[in-house]
Amino acid sequence: MTNQPQETIDTLLSEERSFAPPAEFQAQANAQSAEIYTQAEQDWQGWWASWAEQLQWDKKWEQVLDWQAPYAKWFVGGKLNASVQCLDRHVQAGLGNRVAFYFEGEPGDQRTLSYAEMLEGVCQVANGLKSLGVGKGDRVTLYMPMVPELAMTVLACARIGAIFSVVFAGFSPTSLKDRIQDQSAKLVVCADGCWRRGKVLDLKSVVQQAVKECTSVEKVLLWSRGQGLRSESAPIPQEVAWEDVVGPQPTTCPPESMDAEDPLFILYTSGTTGKPKGIVHTTGGYLTGALATSKLVFDLKPETDVYWCTADIGWITGHSYIVFGPMANGVSQVMYEGAPNHPAPDRFWQLVETYRVSVFYTAPTAIRAFMKWGDEHPSKHDLSSLRLLGTVGEPINPEAWMWYQKQIGGERCPIVDTWWQTETGGIMITPLPGITATVPGSATTPFPGIETKLLREDGSEVEGAGGGYLVLTRPWPSMLRGIWGDAKRYEETYWSRFPGKYFAGDGAKRDAHGNLWILGRVDDVMNVSGHRLSTMEIESSLVAHPAVAEAAVIGIAHELKGQAPVGFVILRGGYDQTQQLAEELRQFVATEIGGLARPENIIFTPELPKTRSGKIMRRLLRDVAEGKAVGDVTTLADPTVLQGLQKEYEDKEKC
Ligand code: WT7
């Protein structure tokens, strides 16, 4: 059912190490007693409403939930503004001087922004957006690095009711163009460049190429990272400068009162087809989920904590657990622009020490890299400020978990392994650090109010210990409301496999203690360094190259990335199977989609294993690529294809 070999699953499930919350942690935790699970169970709608009440509403809702499966409306009739939750209410409460962000650029430049300064900045950007003709319901695409101006622009869009869509600044011009076109964005906000591993990444030229074919884009608002990056490239025809548009604006701007169900943002993620899905999140429910989960999972103490989530705002983790959740809670955060190993592999730990970070949230792929770089890097630094650690994005192998606990957490910090998705908007399965006994490698149990089930192929429920398809059986406030411009795809992708239940696309197992173990995707989606990529997307990219007749892509196990794409390629006549062409194809995919999608390997083959009905058997390709004994081949049209492939792959491995 999953990509994981049976032995790995068995070892995972024989995990008997378990860590109860340390007594001191429990005594101060925001959630201390398992009773909240019972309460939330008895009245889950009431539970969520109690969190919504902690937001500042312009008008209270009339109904908590209107559920016409699979369409949910939360806090019906309520009105609020998302930026007010993150800024105005803290400033009004006299907390304007609290630090919102400690920003550090890769070259070492530092800026500290208080909540009051963020509010002023957001209002200026909001006024600037209005001056460019952007208003409620308009779409704005953001293509920016990790700088405070990105968070400001997100909140400025929210302030005026424009629907923002952040595109991770590692995506290619084509990927950016596709997203701008899909949402008919009126405005693109971008930066000229950013720093990564000591080099300047030229973001402006990516935008320049992308907007050439985007007729909807009226203006491109360009923020300069500084250091004279701007002067190097020619202007984009629609370009206007941040300092001209935003600079002169007043520092107040009345927030637009939005309906709880008005869209807040669109965020694209890969599905099983070649075309990414624009996941739509709305205002009231999304914020309720972000507020509640941040407060309980990260145990946020806004007066004293310094929280650092190392994700990029271009992914859902950054939306929910940098911008909206932590800011709605009013906590101080660290934001870092660059690479974890620049100028040296201890950069993160140096930042933890400098800013006295207390809550740290990162991804397994990063933890594996830290392990590989060596214990001496964290050991050099005083990490005693840390009190809680988190992980997200992919299953964490127990050894990496144990390393994280020891080398980073000093065996004193609980670890929250949080399972969720772009679509769920917020954390769904996770320990609560003052309550749950954690187990290395397990995301443990659903967040209060969330109900999960494991289902068999036929839809029957797996009760007790056992494995199955992971589904969510109730609506939750921060759930996606649909796919931008494609209602049918929403119903088909998430709600048709098991009618009336949300199918996440993951397989999972429940152990004898009731803890859940996420086993990975069960569809043609792979998880590369915690990011989702579809095999189809990479295949379409490969076949767009003139040399390629046919391609099949699979995700293979990778030591650092979790999974990595490998492409099996049939060439057109007249092209030779050279190392140089393989390299060109890898680069071609990176240019077409983004560096993340670059195949680890390209295997040339005269044939692909197919079923009699012509479907490529990716499972077999995976076995070949992972050097495993090949599974059941009885449905294969031509079994000899595989032997050829295996040889091809082994030869490739040797050289
Ligand atoms: C997929 C969602 C949620 C933000 C980052 C990724 C995998 C996520 C875990 C975890 C095991 C995990 C799942 C999920 N995943 N967190 N703690 N343990 N797997 O967001 O790109 O929407 O991907 O990431 O496969 O379906 P995304």
- 195-223 pLDDT per residue, tens: 999 999 999 999 999 999 999 999 999 99
125: nearest Cα among 81, 204, 191, 189: 189
Ligand 1 pocket test, candidate residues 168, 324, 392, 531, most atoms within 8 A of CB: 392
Cα–ligand 1 centroid distance for 9 (angstroms) = 18
Q: Answer whether residue 231 shows pLDDT above 70.
A: no
C-beta of 521 in contact with ligand 1 (< 6 A): yes
**The total number of residues written for the chain in this structure:** 655
Cα–ligand 1 centroid distance for 575 (angstroms) = 39
The Cα–Cα gap between 257 and 235 comes to 36
Residue 108: band (very low, low, confident or very high) from pLDDT cuts 50, 70, 90: very high
Ligand 1 pocket test, candidate residues 394, 422, 429, 524, most atoms within 8 A of CB: 394
Residue whose CA lies nearest to ligand 1 atom number 6: 393
Ligand 1 atom with the smallest distance to the CA of 422 is 22
Burial class (CB in 10 A: 0-12, 13-18, 19+), 71: middle
Number of helices and strands (H, E) in the chain? 23, 30
Ligand 1 atom with the smallest distance to the CA of 429 is 17
More confident residue, 297 or 608: 297
Cα–ligand 1 centroid distance for 558 (angstroms) = 17
Residue whose CA lies nearest to ligand 1 atom number 19: 394
Residue 554: band (very low, low, confident or very high) from pLDDT cuts 50, 70, 90: very high
514: nearest Cα among 462, 472, 471: 462
Ligand 1 atom with the smallest distance to the CA of 430 is 17
Q: Answer whether residue 643 shows pLDDT above 80.
A: no
C-beta of 527 in contact with ligand 1 (< 6 A): yes
pLDDT of residue 635: 65
pLDDT of residue 9: 56
- Kindly state the average pLDDT of the residues 28-36: 97
Q: What mean pLDDT is reported for the chain?
A: 93
pLDDT of residue 652: 65
**Is 450 within 8 Å of 476 (Cβ atoms)?**
yes
Query: What percent of the chain is modeled with pLDDT above 70?
Result: 95
Residue whose CA lies nearest to ligand 1 atom number 8: 393
Residue 119: band (very low, low, confident or very high) from pLDDT cuts 50, 70, 90: very high
Give Cβ neighbours of residue 522 (< 8 Å, ≥ 6 apart).
Answer: 1, 2, 469, 505, 506, 507
pLDDT of residue 619: 80
Q: Give pLDDT tens digits for 9-31.
A: 555 556 789 999 999 999 999 99
Q: Answer whether residue 632 shows pLDDT above 80.
A: no
C-beta of 417 in contact with ligand 1 (< 6 A): yes
The residue behind tokens 């295997």 is 603
Cα–ligand 1 centroid distance for 427 (angstroms) = 10
Task: Kindly state the tokens that stand for 199.
Answer: 């080099």
Ligand 1 pocket test, candidate residues 527, 531, 534, 596, most atoms within 8 A of CB: 527
C-beta of 312 in contact with ligand 1 (< 6 A): no
C-beta of 531 in contact with ligand 1 (< 6 A): yes
pLDDT of residue 536: 87
Q: Answer whether residue 612 shows pLDDT above 80.
A: no
Q: Give pLDDT tens digits for 432-464.
A: 999 999 999 999 999 999 999 999 999 999 999
pLDDT of residue 1: 39
C-beta of 518 in contact with ligand 1 (< 6 A): yes
Domains and CATH numbers, the chain: 23-446+453-508 (3.40.50.12780), 529-654 (3.30.300.30)
Q: Answer whether residue 3 shows pLDDT above 60.
A: no
**Is 495 within 8 Å of 483 (Cβ atoms)?**
no
C-beta of 392 in contact with ligand 1 (< 6 A): yes
Cα–ligand 1 centroid distance for 441 (angstroms) = 14
pLDDT of residue 609: 85
C-alpha pair distances (Å), 467 with each of 455, 471, 516, 517 = 8, 12, 9, 9
C-beta of 393 in contact with ligand 1 (< 6 A): yes
Cα–ligand 1 centroid distance for 443 (angstroms) = 11
- Kindly state the average pLDDT of the residues 607-634: 77
Ligand 1 atom with the smallest distance to the CA of 420 is 3
Residue 534: band (very low, low, confident or very high) from pLDDT cuts 50, 70, 90: confident
Q: Give pLDDT tens digits for 319-347.
A: 999 999 999 999 999 999 999 999 999 99
C-beta of 535 in contact with ligand 1 (< 6 A): no
Ligand 1 pocket test, candidate residues 532, 533, 561, 563, most atoms within 8 A of CB: 532
C-beta of 532 in contact with ligand 1 (< 6 A): yes
- Cα 431–Cα 501–Cα 262 angle in degrees, nearest 5: 85
C-beta of 316 in contact with ligand 1 (< 6 A): yes
pLDDT of residue 654: 52
Asked if omega into 5 is within 30° of 0 (cis), the reply is no
Residue 130's φ and ψ, nearest 5 degrees, are -60, -40
Residue whose CA lies nearest to ligand 1 atom number 7: 394
pLDDT of residue 627: 75
CB atoms within 10 A of CB 490: 21
C-beta of 317 in contact with ligand 1 (< 6 A): yes
Ligand 1 pocket test, candidate residues 265, 419, 422, most atoms within 8 A of CB: 419
Residue whose CA lies nearest to ligand 1 atom number 17: 419
Task: Kindly state the tokens that stand for 145.
Answer: 């690095």
C-beta of 443 in contact with ligand 1 (< 6 A): yes
18: three-class secondary structure by DSSP: coil
Quick one: CA torsion of 523, 525, 528, 530, rounded to 10 degrees?
-70
Cα–ligand 1 centroid distance for 418 (angstroms) = 8
pLDDT of residue 616: 83
pLDDT of residue 233: 72
pLDDT of residue 5: 47
Cα–ligand 1 centroid distance for 393 (angstroms) = 4
Query: What percent of the chain is modeled with pLDDT above 90?
Result: 83
C-beta of 395 in contact with ligand 1 (< 6 A): yes
pLDDT of residue 636: 66
Q: Answer whether residue 641 shows pLDDT above 50.
A: yes
Q: Give pLDDT tens digits for 577-589.
A: 999 999 999 999 9
Q: Answer whether residue 130 shows pLDDT above 90.
A: yes
C-beta of 422 in contact with ligand 1 (< 6 A): yes
C-beta of 394 in contact with ligand 1 (< 6 A): yes
Q: Answer whether residue 625 shows pLDDT above 90.
A: no
pLDDT of residue 655: 47
Cα–ligand 1 centroid distance for 355 (angstroms) = 28
Give Cβ neighbours of residue 351 (< 8 Å, ≥ 6 apart).
Answer: 104, 308, 334, 336, 357
